[in-house]
Amino acid sequence: MASRLYRTTRPLYVAVEQLLWQLQVPILGSPTLCVLIALTVTGLILLWARPTQTRMARRLPGRAHDALNRVVRTMPWSTRVLMRLLIAFAKRLGRDGYLVLDEVIVEKAFAKRLPWAGKVYSFAKKRTVYGIVIVVLVWCSCDGQWRIPVGFRLWRPARTCRTTRYQTKLELAVPAVEAVVLASFPVHYIVFDTHYTAGWFTKRLNRLDLTWHGTLDPKTNVIWRGKRQAVRDLASRLRLKWREQLGVRATALRVYAPKYGQLRLVVTKNRHGNFEYLVSNDLLADLTSMVQRKRSRWSVETVFRDSKR
């Protein structure tokens, strides 16, 4: 198949094909199916804008656009089978890693009849947009060389499904995390932002024996030295020490939160005067490790950026 391609695109196709063999995709289907998948993935990488089957076939003249269109519409595997392949591949790497849980919005401004699309607030654009929300679980190696999606779920707006079947983004994230744990996939910790730092969700992670790192909402009540107060009020009375290696003022303490239980709390304040309240169920974690682990969540943002492109 590679001999039919242009000389400039042939190396990319060969690299994609080799990676599919590492994932053991060819053993699940026919050689023709594997070739079509390799061509489709190569086309998605080459075409950042409007990656249609017709444009792919023009730049990758190995198969007609009808064949590429059929493989997309009649994919014989479910997404969960593909995720299990990715989990198995990550385990075979034998590297230490961590999980990042987040969501990405794919804007679909004109897809009014698409049941998975709805109005959602975009923190990146600071406004409400119309699009699809995907809850994504990504495994990242500690050395920064690998970022592999190991689970994702599509969020469906309440207006397009029965009330008994509606699930929040947090509820969608639970089976994705449990699938990784049941696969005996060793991870050091899981990190997420404020939206996923909910009491019932973090308690579920505790039962799964997972170390988690998140951020608290400023209005969250905590008890420290026998006094109940909002975490933002507590932070305003703490003496923060300048941490040159982190570039922030910070301090660490142990608190009790009625919704969460015992927590390790790190209060940080950057050069602009903005506070951030980092929490974890690892009560022995040091301040530097908690700040660095929270910053490691940025790996998923670069995955979203590259995927959207």
Host H or E run for residue 36: helix 31-46
Average pLDDT in the chain: 87
Instruction: Tell me the CA distances in angstroms from 53 to 11, 61, 257, one per residue in order.
Output: 20, 11, 53
pLDDT in tens, 91-129: 888 888 999 998 888 888 888 888 888 888 887 788 888
* Burial class of 140 by CB neighbour count within 10 A (0 to 12, 13 to 18, 19+): buried
* Beta-strand relationship, 97-107 and 190-191: parallel
pLDDT in tens, 140-173: 888 888 888 888 888 988 888 888 888 999 999 9
* Beta-strand relationship, 147-155 and 190-191: unpaired
Instruction: Tell me the CA distances in angstroms from 88 to 23, 91, 92, 299, one per residue in order.
Output: 8, 5, 6, 21
pLDDT in tens, 42-59: 888 888 777 888 888 888
* Nearest by Cα to 29 from 73, 80, 81: 81
Instruction: Tell me the CA distances in angstroms from 146 to 28, 58, 138, 213, one per residue in order.
Output: 24, 31, 10, 20
Q: How many CB atoms lie within 10 A of CB 68?
A: 22
Strand partners, 100: 138, 191
Residue 38 has pLDDT above 80, yes or no: yes
* Burial class of 209 by CB neighbour count within 10 A (0 to 12, 13 to 18, 19+): exposed
**pLDDT confidence tier of residue 290, bands split at 50, 70 and 90:** very high
pLDDT at 304: 61
